[in-house]
Chains A and B, each alone.
Chain A
């Protein structure tokens, strides 16, 4: 049975690309187009990995990441952040939220800045959940 990976991105191009890369490498890909549906799909589908964009409408990746890592049932799912914004900016936004009283969350397992090559993405997924 193929391992399930959830991709959360509002850009259908990216979703289609990531989905194809995953399927080509033997994974089962599911797609959500914002943080809100992303979170409910994570609960329902129990994926082994989440690939998450940061800037999205409705609910941003910044918020979804926190909820994911604060949820007892979900926080052990590894996360790859795949985003156009720099890792530094993302980490700073997490620090800022922590300063405003939220509980601290760990750094994501991997951070990839867009654009990503198919091989690089496949390697990254493999390194976290195996083939």
Chain B
């Protein structure tokens, strides 16, 4: 549309000519038509910004021209020329959207002003249009950007593997992503704007969040920690939780909590524990089977020798065989006793006894095994120890285990310097109503790897000759007696096992 182009329609050629010249001299581009019909055709062709039309014309009159022009382009300015005293038509014209009217005879001045006004209107409308257009464009761009960001954030939240739960400043949940759905078992629509975080979070977190909400200032967030939440079905779900309050300046505007599902991790951990336990049971059974197989071999061997002795009436053979049978029966009894005391809780049975006598008895029992293997047992008993109330059986069994181990440590010592093997068995009265029993040897010693496994069930360094129960049972007896056991050792130098047991005074 050309603002400078005027379409001038009048059935009087004289007026057309005169005014056209005058308008052209004012800088307008003028096209003329002598009838309404011709005018409309020209309007379509030339797209003028302003139409100047006489109202009274034969055929299509000015009002009709006005209507049609407005129908083709509402933005076109139409000025109507009215005859003298034809005010009604002028008002009609304004009603149909004419921008102005001037009276006949047309005065140059009046026309100029009307045209100026029309042109101004067009300019203003143009500017307005472009403003509007710009505004719309900018709006669209801004909306697009906001949308993009929001979609991005939305995607970020929904695609997160972790559960994300956000609330407004009142604690009402406004974000609940699929991760949270998986952990809590609720669907988004059940939660968003319908539930308060207190209904979902475990008590400990709820309290901390609430205090944060009340304080307005202070603690902002909580680092990762493991908590248990209850899901929709009421089952407990272990999660790793981290959360923070959201502030706008100093004011709390909401909160957000992040939840990592630990169920899979816990399941894998459990599986690992189970498989380790199965492996341990396997080892245990294999070791026990091996140990029992050895005993069985001894029993079979003994029986064989007894049979030969019977056949030949050979007393020596009978004795040897019978000894073997008895010894291996004793091994079975001892294994069963160890297994029982390992597997059962046992209360110490306090009796009046003399600890030194017990130690003496243990040394005497082990004397022959020690002498056979060229090991000397040295007794260092504290004479100030009197009769006390303790569990003599527990002391006896523990001490016997320690001395027997010490002899083995000497027997299995591969030291080539032919050192003299010695075992010291010491008793000592200590403060706090405690008696210390120490067994010290100069045998193989224990390396750190073995030391770490000393009190592990069924661990043994003695091949098929140990059950791996001795020290474990010893430790258990000592603990049940309220005492403690301490190990010091150096590879190649020997070991010291010291047990401290509290006693009761004889009442």
- Residues of A close to B298: CB separation below 8 A: 11, 13
Interfacial residues of chain A within 4-43, with CB under 8 A of chain B in the complex: 11, 13-14, 16-17, 20-21, 24
Looking at A13, A20, A55, A118, the one whose CB has the most chain B CB atoms below 10 A away is: A13
Expressed in whole angstroms, the minimum distance between the Cβ of A64 and any Cβ of chain B is 13
Interfacial residues of chain B within 406-463, with CB under 8 A of chain A in the complex: 411-414, 463
Tell me, yes or no, whether A115 is within 8 Å of chain B by CB.
yes
Expressed in whole angstroms, the minimum distance between the Cβ of A96 and any Cβ of chain B is 17
Q: A24 contacts which of B290, B308, B327, B414 (Cβ < 8 Å)?
A: B308
B413 closest partner in A (C-beta) = A57
Also in contact, A115 and B324, with CB within 8 A (given A17-B301, A57-B412): no
Q: Is the CB of A20 within 8 A of B293?
A: no
Tell me, yes or no, whether A114 is within 8 Å of chain B by CB.
yes
- Residues of B close to A115: CB separation below 8 A: 293, 296-297, 300
Tell me, yes or no, whether B235 is within 8 Å of chain A by CB.
no
Tell me, yes or no, whether A3 is within 8 Å of chain B by CB.
no
Tell me, yes or no, whether A84 is within 8 Å of chain B by CB.
yes
Q: Is the CB of B464 within 8 A of A13?
A: no
Expressed in whole angstroms, the minimum distance between the Cβ of A48 and any Cβ of chain B is 23
Tell me, yes or no, whether B251 is within 8 Å of chain A by CB.
no
Expressed in whole angstroms, the minimum distance between the Cβ of A1 and any Cβ of chain B is 21
* Contact-residue size bin, chain A (C-beta under 8 Å from the other chain): 10 to 19
Tell me, yes or no, whether A58 is within 8 Å of chain B by CB.
yes
Tell me, yes or no, whether B302 is within 8 Å of chain A by CB.
yes
Expressed in whole angstroms, the minimum distance between the Cβ of B68 and any Cβ of chain A is 112
Q: Is the CB of B320 within 8 A of A16?
A: yes
Q: Is the CB of B414 within 8 A of A13?
A: no
A15 closest partner in B (C-beta) = B301
Report the separation of the CA atoms of residues A114 and B463 in the bound assembly, to the nearest whole angstrom.
13
17 additional contacts (CB under 8 A) given A13-B302, A20-B305, A20-B321: A11-B298, A11-B465, A13-B301, A14-B301, A16-B305, A16-B321, A16-B324, A17-B301, A17-B304, A20-B320, A57-B411, A57-B412, A58-B411, A58-B414, A84-B294, A84-B463, A118-B304
Q: Is the CB of A16 within 8 A of B412?
A: no
Expressed in whole angstroms, the minimum distance between the Cβ of B308 and any Cβ of chain A is 6
Q: Is the CB of B327 within 8 A of A13?
A: yes
- Residues of A close to B328: CB separation below 8 A: 13
- Residues of A close to B302: CB separation below 8 A: 13, 17
Expressed in whole angstroms, the minimum distance between the Cβ of B466 and any Cβ of chain A is 12
Q: Mark B245-267, 1 if CB is under 8 A from A, else 0.
A: 00000000000000000000000
Report the separation of the CA atoms of residues A21 and B179 in the bound assembly, to the nearest whole angstrom.
75
- Residues of A close to B34: CB separation below 8 A: none
A63 closest partner in B (C-beta) = B414
Report the separation of the CA atoms of residues A13 and B331 in the bound assembly, to the nearest whole angstrom.
13
Q: B308 contacts which of A11, A20, A58, A114 (Cβ < 8 Å)?
A: A20
A20 closest partner in B (C-beta) = B305
Query: What are 16 A-B pairs with beta-carbon distances under 8 A?
Result: A13-B324, A13-B327, A14-B297, A14-B301, A16-B321, A17-B301, A17-B304, A20-B308, A57-B411, A57-B413, A84-B290, A85-B463, A114-B293, A115-B297, A115-B300, A118-B304
Report the separation of the CA atoms of residues A103 and B327 in the bound assembly, to the nearest whole angstrom.
42
Tell me, yes or no, whether B121 is within 8 Å of chain A by CB.
no
Expressed in whole angstroms, the minimum distance between the Cβ of B196 and any Cβ of chain A is 68
Q: Mark B298-322, 1 if CB is under 8 A from A, else 0.
A: 1011101100100000000100110
Interfacial residues of chain B within 278-296, with CB under 8 A of chain A in the complex: 290, 293-294, 296
A118 closest partner in B (C-beta) = B304
